[in-house]
Chains A and B, each alone.
Chain A
């Protein structure tokens, strides 16, 4: 598993993946729609997969002494690593902003517990559609991205808009009591993310087995 991930990071990943992963820091920018962080997290695998097609990465992996399903596993590991790392990078800045930007975020949702819950849901939806569609052919990256980014963007849009409605203002709060109230959203997000990864992996492996490279 480590070797597969090492291959992804050293050969398959486009430099852009590292930059977009680092964009977790954007949560420290004042008055900014922080949902953009997740959209960058969706764009990063798209660019890397395009780059992979250009460099014949899938062919190379398929010729290594690994199972055909390991080619799929390698890509999944890379996407998960990039997304989780991005959220981890953003975390200290989300804490820091409580002190340096106490007036909050007028542009949209705060970088709070609910925000991370929505993040996991966005990634879960994007990953499932993007990865399962991609492994149908192992080359139609553009179609996979368009199909996946539309619902992912709608979740981000919903998250950014909903906090402006009176009934949902608690989504936008950062006081400890509200953060606790938001915990179920995070929990649901993480569960959906995990279920989505396993389901997408199963479907992708089955689809990729049938692909003629």
Chain B
């Protein structure tokens, strides 16, 4: 069974169209959603979550139709939106105090443990946290209500290499038990090399490929230039697919 299955997701804006996005995630896997800035990664995630109204498409989450079962699906879902800070002037403990009331499976002992593990001070305000710490706080919240699926929109952008590496290592640890899955968008290809099992590539609002990492890399080897030996890296695949020359 798939944890998440997205079929034919489309969203039309006056100047941008997300077309027919289809992919699925199995339990215990990490999927990286890649594409350059403006390709439609965030629109895909937001359309899946009903934050943006998709024009077409169905979302199955935990075997249920997401739209019909939004509340119960969200009980098992953790979302971290990159670049959006919540309640900057509030203390972490106050945000947690409110948030936990909404989740049936909230585990206070686990939350305290995650705060300690991530060195988060509950008396600190959100604005006092670094970008990496903010992501970790949201992950701590998601894990404390025992989310089975984590969806993160560009969680690594704006992080220094050390924090990024730390976060990616954490992702691997989280899926180790085979019960959780992670979908995260990024435009940093090294994130995927380090941590993704599957890759979904979106270009100009269209799905280019969604496959297991090695299958994904192999399917792009036709981009190799004559004389090149060895497999193309993800970065090379992305650059060669997107490359544009400006005539200025």
Contacts and interface: CB of A to CB of B under 8 A. Distances in A.
A179 interface: no
Contacts of B79: 63
A64 B99 contact: yes
A71 to B, nearest CB: 11
Given A10-B94, A210-B53, A212-B52, A66 B89 contact: no
A65 B72 contact: yes
A56 B88 CA distance: 9
Interface of A: 3, 6-7, 10-11, 54-57, 59-60, 62-68, 209-213
A59 B103 contact: no
Nearest to B71: A65
B74 A213 contact: no
Give the contact-size bracket for chain B. Answer: 20 to 34
A90 B248 CA distance: 69
Interface in B42-72: 46, 49-53, 70-72
A54 B94 CA distance: 18
Contacts of A68: 50, 70
Interface string B193-206: 00000000000000
22 contacts: A7-B101, A10-B94, A11-B95, A54-B88, A55-B85, A55-B89, A56-B86, A56-B87, A59-B86, A60-B86, A60-B87, A62-B51, A63-B81, A64-B74, A65-B72, A65-B102, A65-B103, A68-B70, A209-B53, A211-B53, A212-B46, A212-B53
Nearest to A3: B101
Nearest to B81: A59
A98 B79 CA distance: 56
A62 B53 CA distance: 13
Contacts of A212: 46, 51-53
Contacts of A64: 74, 99, 102
B212 to A, nearest CB: 29
A48 to B, nearest CB: 13
A11 B96 CA distance: 10
Given A56-B84, A67-B71, A7 B98 contact: yes
A67 B70 contact: yes
Nearest to B126: A55
Contacts of A65: 70-72, 74-75, 77, 102-103
A65 B142 CA distance: 12
Nearest to A14: B89
Nearest to A59: B84
Interface in B17-53: 46, 49-53
Contact of A213 (B46, B85, B97): B46
Contacts of B98: 6-7, 10-11
A66 B85 CA distance: 20
B109 to A, nearest CB: 21
Nearest to A68: B50
Nearest to A213: B51
B90 interface: yes
Interface in B148-207: none
